[in-house]
Structure 1
Amino acid sequence: MSVIYEKHYPHPTFEEEMKELAEYQKEMESDPDYKPEPEMTFDEFYKKMMSDRTLILLPERMQGSEAFIKLAIEASELYELDTRITRKDDSIEVTYSFDCGGDMAFLIPVFRMADSISFFTGIYGFEITISLDYYTHAVYLREKLIHPQDFSESI
């Protein structure tokens, strides 16, 4: 075996990130023009977040979501992965949870259909949780397209 490429990046600890955040907060508060925003309730925060968000139905993606769901269920049943499939206001989310796995190539077809993939550890009582999103709506935030992104030309 020979290594073809290896690079390590610095990763701050949680404590280092919290210290940096506290320093930033202190610096911000020392500015004479600083005016703290009043604390918001969750409902106020959610309303503010949604006020700049626009959803546009993508009919072809809505139809394609059925194939995504079917493929996700097939992988779940064939390999007995704990699975949750959820319809959100803008997407279909498939969450697979499992304890370590070797060759997970059987998930590649589902990955290819997904618009975003997130990995988590230590939730739902499993070592690994993978969340896959398939967007049925275009999501704009302040008139900028957020999802789905087209990475076909950049990869």
Structure 2
Amino acid sequence: MDRIIYEKEYPRESPEEGMKGTEEWKMPDMSLEEFMQRGYEKQFSIPIPERVNGAQAFIAAVKDVSELYKLNVKITERTDHISADFYFNAGGSMRYFKEVLRLADDVSFFSNVLGYDIVMSLDYYTHAVFIRGRRIYP
């Protein structure tokens, strides 16, 4: 027989309630490209040699999980990190991601993207990323 050990529900806002007070927000008058450039102008990165070499282990682990469990995946090399995006429907155990999660520096989840219920994006940083002189990743 199952028993609940702990459960906590927090009040949820409706989408309309969550938008209260945003009517006065003014979007900057600039293109997306200008907006992105502005965000990156104070950012720089420095390669971390042992992490650059370790990226192959991350990529191999991602490929192994994808092939073993037949999960759709896209691995992308970015300027300062490697991204692995897993695409799948419904839920299930995450035990087969343990090795990949152990290697990842960051994990993000997205729902209802490209016809999939869940997209899990894992990032492995090969460079130290700084914004305004402050180290952000890894």
2:36 is aligned to 46
* Aligned mate of 2:112, from 111, 122, 130: 122
1:83 is aligned to 73
2:14 is aligned to 13
Q: Which amino acid aligns with 2:120?
A: I
Q: Which has the higher strand share?
A: 2
Change in Cα spacing, 1:47 to 1:103, as seen in structure 2 (3 Å) is closer
Deviation at 1:38, TM superposition (A): 5.7
1:137-152 matches, cutoff 5 A: 137-148=127-138
1:61-72 matches, cutoff 5 A: 61-72=51-62
Larger-gyration structure (1/2): 1
In structure 1, stretches of 5+ residues that fail to align are 27-35, 149-155
Percent identity (aligned)? 41
Equivalenced residue count is 137
Segments of 4+ moved more than 4 angstroms: none
Q: Following the alignment from structure 1 to structure 2, what is the Cα–Cα distance between the partners of residues 60 and 3?
A: 45
1:56 is aligned to 46
CA RMSD of aligned residues (A): 1.8
Deviation at 1:108, TM superposition (A): 1.0
Deviation at 1:142, TM superposition (A): 1.2
In structure 2, stretches of 5+ residues that fail to align are none
TM-score by length of 2: 0.89
Change in Cα spacing, 1:83 to 1:15, as seen in structure 2 (3 Å) is same
Q: Following the alignment from structure 1 to structure 2, what is the Cα–Cα distance between the partners of residues 142 and 56?
A: 14
Q: Which has the higher helix share?
A: 1
1:112 is aligned to 102
Deviation at 1:37, TM superposition (A): 8.4
Q: Following the alignment from structure 1 to structure 2, what is the Cα–Cα distance between the partners of residues 98 and 127?
A: 6
TM-score by length of 1: 0.80
